[in-house]
């Protein structure tokens, strides 16, 4: 069956994850006629993600500016629980890092030599959140429907042709249909559809980072704090409970995320450096078992958990790094997660997506009806996203080079936190937000670039000496000084940082 009538829209959006739905809702409130297309169906499995103070700031700004007051509630754990306790999430008080060594149980000392906790909020009520994407994405689609936005799931875009407007050929469960729109936004979170429709390829060639993941969701994962206490490891200096955070276990060859939700579910996965391709011929199960056997404390904690019904197995990603060669054109644009991705190490995905929504919406609202200005605005947007990805790539690549040496990892990671603080302060002071992570700040870009060069000199093909690590730490402490309002790299902190941002 083929639908013969062609319904005309201002904007058609592909992909009903949180980014696509929020974009649809905002454009609708701006008075545009919007259609949202979803290839799958909600609720659907998606890997757990966590918000950050920047994500919360942007979410609140979008909620206020575009008259979505209910969206504001999802910017803090306290307001989320008060308004929508039925939508699963978790407390995310900050970033927690624990260094593990091969064939050894986790150990540390009173100076927290193998620990790093960086708080991002003052208490649980003001806390960031771990998002169970299956729940929040499904909820946002219900809001799309409530607002009267046309929504079609189990619908695949087969072809797109453009004359004056776009003509989209759609394959649906009951046959085929045609939809027309003046503009197209890709929010699918993958470059596949852009390549299919426009012939624009994704590539990982420009990236310094080279990683992939093996992961799943688990029930009944024991608390990390309980395991520490059983091993008589003191937690009295901790600024928060690390189980209520983005909990990272740092390995020599990568890291593990543990994101806990308030329904006995935990997102757990290995992210492994793969620049030498040593995992290419290994099965997912073989990689999983090899890593658990290599790190006994990790094996101990995961052995008490059960794989959740969704997804029901251990999953494996391809290489995580990718970037479209072009992310806009005549009558179309892609959101950040479609454009590219680096690595989930610093939980930047939600914030980067929201930052992109902010830029795209601003461009459309200012230039709708003027194709030349709209296209120029999207060119500026592309430059911004590419610079943001380039900066994040360097910051994360440096982390992988330092993972075998935790003191060096600790030092290098402060460059990320300094860039984050600078961007948060820009937003808190209600200055123009510019690029995500202040990637438009030449001083920050140069600081990271020079620091990466220095890092390579002490790590390439050799183990850094104690003197080299001390030298590097002193250099980084001096370089981040203009942005360091949180006492980063202060020896008195003993790797425990109470709060890195002002109250927001």
Q: Please answer whether residues 428 and 502 qualify as being in contact, where contact means their C-beta atoms are separated by less than 8 angstroms.
A: yes
Contacts of 57 (CB under 8 A, 6+ apart): 75, 424, 427, 428, 504
Give the phi and the psi of residue 256 in degrees, each rounded to 5: -125, 135
Alpha helices in 15-115 (DSSP H): 18-29, 53-65, 77-83
- Which residue in this structure is represented by tokens 């330092």? 402
Work out the percent of the chain whose per-residue pLDDT is above 90.
95
DSSP string, 121-182: SSSSTT-EEEE-HHHHHHHHHHHHHHTT-EEE-S-EEEEEEESSSEEEEEEETTEEEEEEEE
Q: Please answer whether residues 415 and 488 qualify as being in contact, where contact means their C-beta atoms are separated by less than 8 angstroms.
A: no
Contacts of 43 (CB under 8 A, 6+ apart): 134, 135, 137, 138
pLDDT of residue 1: 40
d(CA 184, CA 432): 27
Q: Please answer whether residues 18 and 133 qualify as being in contact, where contact means their C-beta atoms are separated by less than 8 angstroms.
A: yes
Give bridge partners of residue 214 from the DSSP assignment: 270, 316
d(CA 107, CA 98): 9
Instruction: Answer yes or no: is pLDDT of 503 > 60.
Output: no
CA angle, 144 then 145 then 150, to 5°? 90
d(CA 282, CA 265): 28
Q: Which of 15-29, 308-322, 360-374, 490-504 has the lowest mean pLDDT?
A: 490-504
pLDDT tens digits along 207-220 = 999 999 999 999 99
d(CA 128, CA 296): 31
pLDDT tens digits along 420-466 = 999 999 999 999 999 999 999 999 999 999 999 999 999 998 999 99
**Mean pLDDT in residue range 182-195:** 97
d(CA 249, CA 231): 16
The pLDDT-based confidence of 337 (bands split at 50, 70, 90) is very high
**Mean pLDDT in residue range 299-310:** 96
403: three-class secondary structure by DSSP: coil
Q: Please answer whether residues 377 and 366 qualify as being in contact, where contact means their C-beta atoms are separated by less than 8 angstroms.
A: yes
Strands 246-250 and 94-99 come out as parallel
Q: Which two tokens stand for residue 127?
A: 């806390």
Q: What is the mean pLDDT of the chain?
A: 96
Instruction: Answer yes or no: is pLDDT of 501 > 70.
Output: no
d(CA 233, CA 6): 66
pLDDT of residue 7: 77
How many H-runs (helices) and E-runs (strands) does the chain carry? Answer: 14, 23
The pLDDT-based confidence of 22 (bands split at 50, 70, 90) is very high
pLDDT of residue 199: 97
d(CA 244, CA 165): 48
91-130+207-316 CATH choice from 2.40.30.110, 3.40.50.2020, 3.30.9.100, 3.40.50.720: 3.30.9.100
Comparing C-alpha atoms, which of 6, 11, 8 is closest to residue 363? Answer: 11
59: three-class secondary structure by DSSP: helix
pLDDT tens digits along 338-351 = 999 999 999 999 99
d(CA 470, CA 322): 35
pLDDT of residue 173: 87
Instruction: Answer yes or no: is pLDDT of 169 > 70.
Output: yes
d(CA 350, CA 343): 12
Burial of 141 (0-12, 13-18, 19+ CB in 10 A): buried
Strands 34-37 and 89-92 come out as unpaired
Distances (CA, A) of 376 to 212, 299, 447: 35, 52, 30
d(CA 306, CA 216): 10
User: Largest Cα–Cα distance of the chain, in whole Å?
Assistant: 74
The pLDDT-based confidence of 498 (bands split at 50, 70, 90) is confident
Instruction: Answer yes or no: is pLDDT of 191 > 50.
Output: yes
Does the structural domain 7-84+132-205+327-367 have CATH classification 3.50.50.60? yes
Residue range(s) in the chain whose domain bears CATH number 3.30.9.100: 91-130+207-316
Instruction: Answer yes or no: is pLDDT of 157 > 60.
Output: yes
């Amino acid at each position: 069956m083929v639908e013969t009538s062609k319904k005309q829209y201002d904007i058609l959006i592909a992909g009903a994850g949180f980014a696509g739905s929020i974009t649809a809702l905002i454009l609708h409130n701006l008075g545009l006629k919007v259609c949202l297309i979803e290839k799958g169906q909600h609720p659907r499995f998606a890997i757990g993600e966590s918000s950050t103070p920047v994500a919360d700031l942007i979410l609140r700004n979008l909620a206020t500016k575009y008259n979505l007051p209910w969206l504001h509630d999802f910017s803090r754990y306290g307001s989320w629980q008060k308004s929508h306790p039925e939508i699963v999430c978790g407390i995310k008080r900050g970033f927690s890092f624990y260094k593990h060594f091969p064939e050894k149980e986790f150990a540390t000392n009173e100076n927290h030599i193998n620990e790093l906790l960086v708080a991002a909020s003052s208490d649980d009520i003001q806390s960031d959140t771990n998002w169970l994407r299956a729940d929040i994405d499904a909820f946002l689609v219900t809001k799309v429907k409530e607002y009267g936005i046309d929504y079609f799931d189990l619908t695949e875009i087969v072809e797109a042709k453009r004359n004056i407007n776009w003509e989209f050929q759609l394959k649906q469960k009951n046959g085929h249909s045609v939809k027309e729109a003046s503009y197209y936004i890709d929010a699918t979170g993958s470059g596949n559809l852009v390549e299919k429709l426009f012939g624009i390829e994704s590539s990982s060639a420009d990236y310094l980072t080279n990683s992939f993941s093996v992961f799943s969701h688990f029930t009944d994962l024991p608390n990390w704090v309980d395991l520490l206490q059983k091993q008589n490891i003191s937690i009295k200096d901790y600024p928060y409970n690390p189980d209520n955070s983005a909990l990272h276990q740092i390995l020599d060859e990568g890291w593990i995320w543990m994101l806990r939700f308030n329904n006995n579910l935990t997102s757990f996965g290995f992210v492994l450096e793969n620049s030498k391709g040593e995992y290419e011929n290994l099965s997912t199960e073989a990689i999983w078992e090899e890593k658990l056997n290599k790190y006994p404390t990790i094996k101990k904690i995961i052995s008490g958990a059960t794989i959740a019904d969704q997804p029901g197995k251990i999953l494996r990603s391809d290489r995580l790094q990718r970037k479209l060669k072009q992310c806009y054109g005549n009558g179309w644009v892609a959101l950040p997660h479609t454009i590219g991705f680096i690595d989930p190490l610093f939980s930047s995905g939600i914030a980067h997506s929201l930052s992109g929504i902010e830029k795209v919406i601003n461009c459309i609202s200012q230039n709708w009806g003027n194709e030349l200005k709209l296209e120029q605005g999207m060119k500026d947007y592309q430059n911004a996203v590419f610079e943001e990805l380039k900066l994040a790539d360097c910051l994360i690549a440096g982390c992988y080079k330092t993972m075998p040496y935790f003191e060096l990892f600790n030092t290098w990671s402060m460059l990320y936190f300094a860039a984050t603080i600078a961007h948060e302060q820009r937003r808190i002071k209600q200055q123009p937000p510019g690029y995500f992570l202040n990637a438009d700040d030449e001083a920050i870009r140069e600081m990271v670039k020079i620091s990466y060069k220095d890092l390579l000199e002490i790590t390439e093909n050799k183990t850094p000496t104690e003197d080299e690590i001390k030298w590097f730490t002193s250099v980084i402490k001096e370089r981040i000084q203009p942005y360091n309002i949180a006492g980063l790299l202060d020896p008195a902190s003993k790797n425990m940082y109470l709060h890195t941002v002002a109250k927001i």
